[in-house]
Amino acid sequence: MKQFKKYLPVAMILIFAVALLAGCSSGKPKETGGGSKAEVTKGAEPGTSGEEPYEIAVEVVNIYQDYADLAEVEAAINEITLPAINCSIKLKPVPIPEQGTKLSLAVAANEKLDLVNAGLLSTPGTLAGEGLLTDITDYLTPALKELAGDLLSAGTINGRVYSYPCILYPGQEAAFIYDKDLADQYNITVPDTISSIEDWNKIFEQIKASGMSPYGISLGDGGGASITEFGANFDALGDNNSLSYGVVVDPANNTTITNWYESQEFYDMCKDHYDWMQNGYCVPDSLTNGYTTIDSITNGQSFGATSSIGIGSNLAYWSNLTGKNLAKAVIRDALLTTGYTNTQAWGVASNCEKPEKVIQFLDLLFTNTDLANLINYGIEGKHYVKLEGTQNIITYPEGTNSSTVGYAGDMIQWFGDTKKVFQRTPNTDEFFATIDNYGLAGATKSNCLGYTFDTANVTTQLTAVQNVVNEYKATLTTGNVNPEEAVPGFIQALKDAGIDEIIKENQSQLDAWLAAK
């Protein structure tokens, strides 16, 4: 288990917090044999055509566990799917360290892997460009189209659909999450919303004056700051890590791409972090100590950390992960982008023999709650029990936990419609009232939702720019260097590497995409 420990915080943040899609290109999709017109009839009775049931191999992303009761769960699933769509389901757990290469290896070896996660460690555009995904446009059912709405555009490339959102409410807000018990113990006042540097400084001044042992915040190793840039309101257009594509600031009202690192906002953020480090507000060795920002809350190094908050990464989730009673201060309201939508996206492997059957299963997964709960949590009474006094909250049976239960203890994959499936403790029934805040109905929608940058013409520049970012950004965003001295050299190195050429190409493509809408 120790060898996988380092993947746990990263995996959880990848999936449920934000879309950490670092520098993924999206070339033109290769022909994959999909896309032929197929009539899909949900609930077709087996045997009427004399066809043998089709086995669908479904990728299930997890941390590392082998599920002792996998065959038993599959048998229960098949009691639903065989009568409904004449398909049996074979679940294939894939540990997160292997997920990034699993699809390409499976297609190369013609290994059966039908329904896959196309967005976790890559993007649908990248995978389609490599010929690894089937065009599913003509297989999508009316129910699936209606459920996804505008989110379907996130997996659309050159007018064809290559992925379907796993999560129908994928918006992310930026927040400062902190130890509520410590705040109460030391009388630390944290506002519900943080909107200025003065708000931050008031929090950290209280913490330092209180005499508590934890620092106010950990800035991590530079990766944590790059996720949300402490709540900056921009759409990174697919590269949420190095921001090498440029960004659209205020994306609900703007479509102009700029170099974030050349902005006053970036400079001010780095200056604030540098001042915090000088004032003793931050964990001093966060760049090198090997702990993520969330780890630092768990081990008592820091009072809080910045994080993305969504339906899969709400306060209950972070409290459970850290073992702390957490509260939050909102830095930026929920934003809906292509990157967030594609963090988890269903795709059909290009070597799938019957993609129309896979889409029938996907339809059933989103419309049959019993099936979705079964795949998510296993068998009631054995792998979960309903929490007394609640309607849709479950917990582990007495004597078991996530490490000992026979199924789904470490699953980090979402199945079905979040509004309908059970949720584990420490969530409460109130969770369901917040879901729309992160979907099309409640989140701020980027004007660029559905746009994918084709990086084929600037691959050399991208590599050079990302190398520059890797050289400068971590020390700047963690407050370890004076931005007055380092930022000018950073900006010049980015220009020398070709960031202006990347932004020009990206803007040209975005303008053409907007004009064609």
Three-class SS of 116-143 = EECCCCCCHHHHHHCCCECCCHHHCCHH
Assigned domain for 450 exists: no
* Tokens matching residue 145: 């189209």
Phi/psi-derived region of residue 229, left when phi > 0, alpha when psi is between -120 and 50, beta in every other case: left
Neighbours of 97 (CB within 10 A): 16
- Taking only the tens of pLDDT, the chain with its 517 residues reads 333 333 333 333 343 333 333 333 344 565 444 443 333 334 334 444 578 999 999 999 988 788 999 999 999 999 999 999 999 999 999 998 898 899 999 999 999 999 999 988 888 988 998 999 999 999 999 999 999 999 999 999 889 999 999 999 999 999 999 999 999 999 999 999 999 999 999 999 999 999 999 999 999 876 644 444 667 899 999 887 789 999 999 999 999 999 999 999 999 999 999 999 999 999 999 999 988 888 999 999 999 999 889 987 888 888 888 889 999 999 999 999 999 999 889 999 999 999 999 999 999 999 999 999 999 999 999 999 999 999 999 999 999 998 899 998 878 878 999 999 999 988 999 999 999 999 999 999 999 999 989 888 999 999 999 999 999 999 999 999 999 999 999 999 999 999 999 999 999 999 999 999 8
- CATH assignment of the domain containing 371: 3.40.190.10
Residue 505 counted as domain residue: no
The tokens for 397 are 């049976």
Q: Give the per-residue pLDDT at 121.
A: 84
CA distance 474 to 490: 12
Q: Tell me which DSSP letter residue 356 carries.
A: H
Quick check: is 68 in a domain? yes
Q: What is the full DSSP assignment across 70-111?
A: HHHHHHHHHHHHHHHHSEEEEEEEEEHHHHHHHHHHHHHTT-
Asked, for residue 88, whether it belongs to a domain, the answer is yes
At residue 222, the pLDDT reads 65
Number of structural domains found in the chain: 1
Query: Can you give the three-state secondary structure of 494-515, one letter per residue?
Result: HHHHCHHHHHHHHHHHHHHHHH
- Domain annotation covers residue 439: no
Tell me which residue of 419, 417, 441 sits closest to 432, measured CA to CA: 419
Burial of 185 (0-12, 13-18, 19+ CB in 10 A): exposed
The boundaries of the domain holding residue 363 are 2-169+341-378
In a domain, 312, yes or no: no
Dmax over CA atoms of the chain, in Å, equals 77
- Residue 40: the pLDDT is 39
Any domain includes 247: no
In a domain, 301, yes or no: no
Q: pTM of this prediction?
A: 0.85
How far apart are the C-alpha atoms of 372 and 420, rounded to whole Å? 9
Please tell me the distance from the alpha carbon of residue 486 to that of residue 267, in angstroms, as a whole number.
Answer: 10
